[in-house]
Structure 1
Amino acid sequence: MRTGLLCSGSPFPECSPQGGSTATVWKNLNPFWGEEYTLHLPMGFHNLSFYVLDEDTIGHDDAIGKISLSKDFISSHSRGIDSWINLSPVDPNEEVQGEISVELQVVEESHKRVLCCHVIEARDLAPRDTSGTSDPFARVLWNGQVLETAIIKKTRFPRWDELLEFVLEEGTAGETPLIVEVWDWDMVGKNDFLGRVEFSLDALQKAPVKGWYRLLPFTSTEGDAGGKLGALRLRVRLAEDRILPSRYYQPLIDLLVESVMCPSEEDVTPLALLEEVCSLESRQDVATKLVKIFLGQGLVLPFLDYVNLREVSRTTDPNTLFRSNSLASKSMEQFMKVVGMPYLHEVLKAIINRIFEEKKYVELDPCKIEPSRTRRISFKSSLSEAQIRESSLEVLTGYLGDIVESIVSSTEKCPPIMRVAFKQLHKRVDDHFPEAENQDAKYIAISGFLFLRFFAPAILTPKLFNLRDQHADTQTSRTLLLLAKAVQSIGNLGLQLGHGKEQWMEPLHPFILSSIGQVKEFLDWLINVDCENGDEKKPWTLFHPSATIKEGYLNKRKAEGLHLVSRFTFKKRYFWLSNESLSYSKSPEWQVRTSIPVQQICAVERVDENAFQQSHMMQITTRENGGQLSTMYIQCKNVNELNQWLSAIRKVMVSNDCLLPFCHPGAFRGSRWTCCLQTDRAVRGCSRTHSAVTLGDWSDPLDPDTEAQMVYRQLLLGRDKLRCPRTCRSEGWRFESLRRGELPLLGPCSCQPSSSKACQSASR
């Protein structure tokens, strides 16, 4: 069983313009997913829909139910929605999307009145055929009469441009509505409904109408199923931002950079103020955006050193160092996720896969031991509790030994930029806590991030770190939980052993204590790196050249022959991405590969759905040795996979010299571009590229302007704290800095408008 996240009333996850699918939870009527998605929706979206599906290995998945939330409803909850909501039935007649363009008017002709219906075109219709398209036609109904347009085959963006007319008899009732419907024609079986729009004849007789109109479903007579289909617990929050051109955010970026490069002795900097005004709930988002901003500026190491030094300087007890959710701890955590995911996969993936495949029963807690499950351990008879614990200990120490060995032997695999960040952290902690009794503090500071906030969470929930496609079953989850607990204890250098409530973990203590020496030696080697090797100007070329950053099956086609738009023109190929090349072949085992050097990639961009009537498309433009541009179109399975490939390719091509500033989001078909309708194939692209944007999270490529807007929004939310006169008198420098940056941030002070020159300067 699985759930899909959709918007704009799309019928199923496979055809959603924006959405994502969770992992499948097998054979369970009470599934838990715990997955989080960020959707970048158009400002004019209407609904956000959630579908619960029963996955079938053969044929289509069955829809169990759905929840549809309107934009107005979500917006009315300023703090977000967090509740159980009953599922409603999925009616195909209600699963519509898209718009239709019509022109309607009543005209006088030869002593008679004629209702003229000019059906022009439609866009973004729901796909009803297996090819991912539809065969749409329009049907106009009025006063018992029906007129239809021609059928346009295999498209979700049909253009009819047909005039349909009704003669209005004398005394025709004005309350009779004019209905325009769109249907998908099927050769066999019933036609599929795609949406409808209703117009008042009285209104048309007063004035003609022309424009785009949203397609609506049939009026539903079935309401809430009363919980009969189950309920879904959701946590939804809508944040609306209007992203301005980059030049508007440059003053803010300059201030943030100034905080790092020229820190104030009084610790009054824009970064310090940002941490002061942002809430605990938003601190992780702020840290993520700051890491991405400074990565883009090539200054992530000075940024991390600044926040870490600030955190260390404010800490008096080394045992509490980086234990809170401060800006420093969150920034280091997000930094590791952004730059260290290939490293994490190389260290843990093989071991995690083996744990999933072996499905061994392990349990150390006497209260949780289930003798009925011991058949996986012994076929002779039920084992005693002591035998189960002994067998479980053997299995766990075996897995732990492999995990620790893989970690401590991974020094050369760790990205140099991570190693330099840890080296700086080690020095700051060692300088602040030089006492002999605090000699372990510098190790724990690093292992606390690497083991407790990186390796252990990935072991606990491999799905969230893309180590597995599905969540673990109950038995495997328990194994992963015990291993994660042990890895945490190793990261703490065994200091907490014997002090917790889980005394049943004691059999693992000897192994944990014996691993501490290896871990310290590993950390010493990890920070033994020349700082110059951490050159941030090319952060994504620092991965080992042989490392495969991403791989998987995709559907590809060349740009040649684009007049043929068919799903059969896409070929299924297995792709590998490294720092050196993007390669593909018929299968992972196929010996012959086609390889594209990364240095030749000029742009990687999304493709409009109307280009191929297909969703989740991207294009990769390369410049060959002769200077000629070549484009390859690729279709991904879903929006999550599309985002991951976009992010991964952009990261490895960040330092290329051949990047294109513009591209066409459509395709050249029928002697013109589908996006801008230009007839010159070589004309400059009509849309700005994002090829140089590598600041996204591993699964979520974002624009630097979006990062800056989010930081600006946090400052805006905390403007009352920033402009208070009581603060101005002691920290007026901050306002002068904001004023010099010309940020439209602070209004006049609310408590004493004219009591401070700093406040008055800020308001200007």
Structure 2
Amino acid sequence: DTHYEWSETDILSHGFSGLSLHRQDSLTQRPLASLKRTGSKGSAYSLRSMRKEMPKPTTQIERPPTIPDAGFGTLEIKLAYENATSSLAVTVLRARGLIGMDMTGLSDPFCRLEVLPREGSYSNRLRTKTVHKTKNPEFNETLHFFGITESDLAVKSLEIVLFDDDRYGCDEMGSATVALRECAKSPAQLRLALSGSSGAEPTGPRILLALCYSTKRRALVVTICRGADLPPQDSNGYSDPFVKLHLDPDPYHKKHKTSIKWRNLNPVWNEEFLFETRPTELSRQNLTLTVWDKDYGKPNDFLGSLVLGASSKGRRLKHWMDCIKFPDHRHESWHSLTDTQHL
């Protein structure tokens, strides 16, 4: 993994101006004009237009039917229905122009497919492989849905959601929905515009967290605000949640813990904790939170975790970098909890 460092002076004086989630290589930029020597020795150079060197228009290549592009990129798929086996074959070909999710401006995308509406509680979700470190993945993978009748083609649709694969949680990158009637008569190849809402609040088990780097206290101030929709672990249908948090690496080896909120799935803490550190160190550190259900006489039940740092992605990365880029300001954001336990 590439290691990034920033000077403390840059961070505090210039607002982390050197930091960008998107990278542009100036070496790849092509000049629009070239220089031509004119006149006698010692005379000036003049610009020579390159228009004469422009290639001639080529024959237009036929492309699949297109929906106008959106800011979340596009996805190209093939649909084919087999009446004899009552099966739907979906070939996920490629995606283009996906949003960047990590520090390098790249992503690790995969697709989750589902035929909707569902039949009762049965879910027929399928997923593709993950293609790493790209915004233009080539999937070329065919997935099959069985038990799809001809009548289903008229009323059902295929939902495709793209996620960024991450061991700390998968962030949604965009989605598209296509009616199955598109392939009722013959196979169809489509290029779909992905839609989404980058500012949408997470759902499911989640935690509201506030970060602030205090230049006066020379510390990261972490406020555990509240939790929502935590999973019940006790026989009474509730949990007794509390949060553990630590910074890693931390030369002071500080570990903090909130109070316990009894019989509560939507706890409110509003408790503040300090970690002594520098802005330059924050670019190499991770903040780890784990949420637990308090039990007596047996081990506490794990409810979820959250990791924020420069190696995070999406919403978590933005929250962490905003804290570094804009010190002495409170930065508050909801984050989904993952079921991966971090020590």
TM-score normalised over the length of structure 1: 0.17
Larger Rg: 1
Which one has more relative contact order, counting CA pairs under 8 Å at least 6 apart?
2
Task: Report the TM-score when normalising by structure 2.
Answer: 0.35
- The structure with the largest strand share of the pair is 2
